[in-house]
Amino acid sequence: MRKLETVAALRTHLQPLSRAGKRIGFVPTMGALHEGHRSLMRAARKECEIVVASIFVNPTQFGPGEDFEKYPRPLEKDLAACREEGVDVVFVPEVGEIYPPGAVTRVSVARLTEGLCGRHRPGHFDGVTTVVAKLFNIVQPDKAYFGQKDAQQAAVIRQMVRDLIWPIQIVVCPTVREGDGLAMSSRNAYLSPEQRRQALCLSKALHWAQGQIETGRGDVQKITAAMREQIEAAGPCEIDYIEVVDAETLEPKTSAVGRCLVALAVRIGPARLIDNVLVDAGGAGR
């Protein structure tokens, strides 16, 4: 496995491989790797001849007062995980490599970024699309792998690739969960044992909502109100949002029919946790 730190070194390494017709799969991450990230690497390993992963804690997607400084950076462990998953190249750039002094260009996707996390983290998705656009231009992958865990991010990136007419296939892989149901996240490390137990209420509420919708009880107002009650009953928390939206457009729904995304973001102690389930409720919109 090669660990490369500069754009020039990465391009020099990948260009001949790409010219030789090798299919390049790319997994962008912020490190602190867990089974969720590994599942993306495994999918890339199956489908592509060359697997590139990046580890870059992107400052522009963090707002003021968010956890950029304290975000975990266990680099040696992360490199070992990449090696175990058969990654060919790990790109680990410094901030100045991706944002050279004087850089002022931003990539911004409208509409899809307005609701859900976009409403609560102003500028977050501009940071995400800007860094992913830069990484795509550096790596020039054939396929790029993202997790359903960050459903809005995956939808936004899909839209960006479509709008900018880039020949990159976006693959979205299922959310990987702990044995008890909690969605894996690098931020779970911020939770105390007590908060970790409490956090289980999120996947439980989503699972409950899925059952309701699948059995035809699709009143969104009722579903989200009951989820709120369940989550608040589990312990102290701050709910950013609990919503049922259209799985493709991310527009809010009043009735859960068609392909729905039930999504939430909740702060428990120091961690802002997000999770979602996709439900195909049939009926109109199918």
By annotation, the residues acting in catalysis are 37
What residues numbered 29-88 form the site for ligand AMP, per CB under 6 A?
29-30, 36-37, 39-40
Position among 60, 130, 159, 175 found at the interface with ligand AMP (CB under 6 A): 175
The number of residues that bind ligand AMP (CB under 6 A) is 17
d(CA 267, CA 198): 11
- The two most distant CA atoms of the chain are separated, in Å, by 58
CB of 73 to ligand AMP, least distance (A): 11
Position among 146, 223, 264, 266 found at the interface with ligand AMP (CB under 6 A): 146
Q: What secondary structure does DSSP assign to 8-48, as a single string?
A: HHHHHHHHHHHHTTPPEEEEEE-SS--HHHHHHHHHHHHH-
Identify the H or E element spanning 159.
Answer: helix 151-163
x/- site string to ligand AMP, residues 17 to 36, per CB under 6 A?
A: ------------xx-----x
* Binding range to ligand AMP, per CB under 6 A, among 8-16, 143-151, 253-261, 278-286: 143-151
Q: Considering the rule CB under 6 A, would residue 176 count as an interface residue with ligand AMP? A: yes
Q: What secondary structure does DSSP assign to 72-128, as a single string?
A: ---HHHHHHHHHHTT-SEEE---HHHHS-TT--------STTTSHHHHHSTTHHHHH
173 C-beta neighbours (distance < 10 Å), count: 19
Q: Residue 185 or 212: which CB sits closer to ligand AMP? A: 185
CB of 29 to ligand AMP, least distance (A): 4
CB of 254 to ligand AMP, least distance (A): 28
273 with 199: CB under 8 angstroms?
yes
Q: Which residues bind ligand AMP (CB under 6 A)?
A: 29-30, 36-37, 39-40, 146-147, 149-150, 173, 175-176, 183-186
